Structure 1
């Protein structure tokens, strides 16, 4: 049968004949007293599940990201999409024909935990397209390589009185984003389910300093971000591998970040269980000094030994 997902894509599912899949494991669920569930992103422990594929009907998924140049992405169900907390992270997915690394790009409203909806390109790398649905194993990647340094995009309609920014190429799950205008103090932004970080009262006229912290405590501070809605502003900063860095926005700004010629080599990123097992990627165009690591405020403690990301607060 064919199911239609509003706004973004058309999803293709196999019609009958699919093998029954045992042991489909979701992420751990934290419960409120009322019994409502608290969603959490996928963890770094390998899990089993199933995969389907879909074709993107628009230009972007629910994460508000540009389509990856390699066309390798995944949509997650509400539990694992976790109100946008999974956006921009990477999963290694293994199927009958091999393994593929995909970027969390979209949500799949009808998918339970353990059901990954891949791009057609990603699906064909690990399974036969004609099957429509395949058994898989998958896990979150720790400190994956990214095709480019961090980028910042100010949302259309933003101003000094309402701040909204999207962060991309951060690799790991993000814990917090803080923003300061000029010499003012940092303000904490709140994450939306469409992957923008908001300060409803605004953050001032800019230019901005943005402090980005992932769930492992790695931080990067980018400076010189302008109030330029709709423009992708490139930086020289990377945040993976236990890095604590600061970098300015590059002078040349383009609507999309061009992947480097070494992207293929970087695809073989380390998936070591501890962030300290990998080294930080070198900065390009970095002109600011390193800053002191700033642990994310109001976030659960992270078990670095297990390298499992902390679940977002309910």
Structure 2
């Protein structure tokens, strides 16, 4: 029951019910405004505490010198997470941490690494699962060029090789399981991080391929039975197109298309002290190689592009 002399809906004295309801609405409004304001403040506070968005994954590029540490390992006969058929013939390779491996964006590029004993040029071939940013894992052979193995881990500096001399042109390797309905290709012997790969079959236009963590580029839905034209662009804007790439799985198709500048052979690199150039790409066995394909299109230019994702 309601007490005598009260408003049944607001439990306030009947004679003052209008005033009380009005005051109650004001208090509710103020409380709501306070909550809204508090939420806004909390939102701002959380945003500030969250800090700047971490830099997204990206491979080393340009002339930036990175300071870090290097250890060593042996990949055996494996081509690493970059899915190469084998390590380079000189076995001078490196594994990068997740951030610099950047979902395979670093695969096939070169670094000049300097340590206590000197400088070595290495091919990025693998991802190092336990490496934090700045930590790299060199092959046994590469580590021996810059330090004594007994040291285990040594301080190093390293930077990208912007225009490495390469032996031959771009290579292409169709993935096992690929078909006219699902296109998957690995690009080799490019020397610098790739920004994009586009491909087309007969009678179609170029379609952008998606980079996968295993260093293959895929086009869902496929491009038909081939042959294919494949346009490759690196992070510096250099571009080359190869033609007549065939749907032949697991075999290296060699071309004369190249991303290298014409003077690459005369200017080994921008390294602190130019070491001997390594073999440009993993050496296939005779069974893996097939006849060269026709190629074309020289560079489109070398204006630096943002390599970050």
1:149 aligned partner: 169
Instruction: Point out which structure has higher relative CO (alpha carbons under 8 A, 6+ apart).
Output: 2
Question: What are the ranges of 5 or more consecutive residues in structure 1 without an aligned counterpart?
Answer: 1-31, 244-264, 273-284, 296-301
Deviations 1:154-197 (CA, angstroms, capped at 9, x unpaired): 00000000000000111111111010111211111000011000
2:60 aligned partner: 42
Question: What are the ranges of 5 or more consecutive residues in structure 2 without an aligned counterpart?
Answer: 1-49, 272-291
What displacement does 1:310 show? 2.1
1:103-252 equivalence runs, <5 A: 103-241=123-261
1:277-296 equivalence runs, <5 A: 290=297, 293=300
Deviations 1:84-107 (CA, angstroms, capped at 9, x unpaired): 111111000001110000010000
Higher helix proportion: 2
1:9 aligned partner: none
What displacement does 1:200 show? 1.4
Alignment length, in residue pairs?
239
Query: What value does the CA root-mean-square deviation take over the aligned residues?
Result: 2.8
1:65-84 equivalence runs, <5 A: 65=84, 66-84=86-104
1:62 aligned partner: 81
**Structure 1 residues 117, 268: CA separation in 2 closer, same or farther (over 3 Å shift)?**
farther
Deviations 1:71-123 (CA, angstroms, capped at 9, x unpaired): 00000000110111111110000011100000100000110111110000000
Asked whether the 8 Å contact 2:77–2:87 carries over to 1, the reply is no
What displacement does 1:214 show? 0.7
Runs of 4+ deviating beyond 6 Å: none
**Structure 1 residues 46, 292: CA separation in 2 closer, same or farther (over 3 Å shift)?**
closer
**Structure 1 residues 142, 226: CA separation in 2 closer, same or farther (over 3 Å shift)?**
same
Tell me the distance in 2 between the aligned counterparts of 1:229 and 1:290. Answer: 25
Structure index of larger Rg: 2
SS state of the match for residue 83, structure 1?
Answer: coil
Tell me the distance in 2 between the aligned counterparts of 1:133 and 1:239. Answer: 35
**Structure 1 residues 148, 292: CA separation in 2 closer, same or farther (over 3 Å shift)?**
closer
Tell me the distance in 1 between the aligned counterparts of 2:296 and 2:140. Answer: 43
TM-score by length of 1: 0.70
Asked whether the 8 Å contact 2:97–2:130 carries over to 1, the reply is yes
SS state of the match for residue 229, structure 1?
Answer: coil
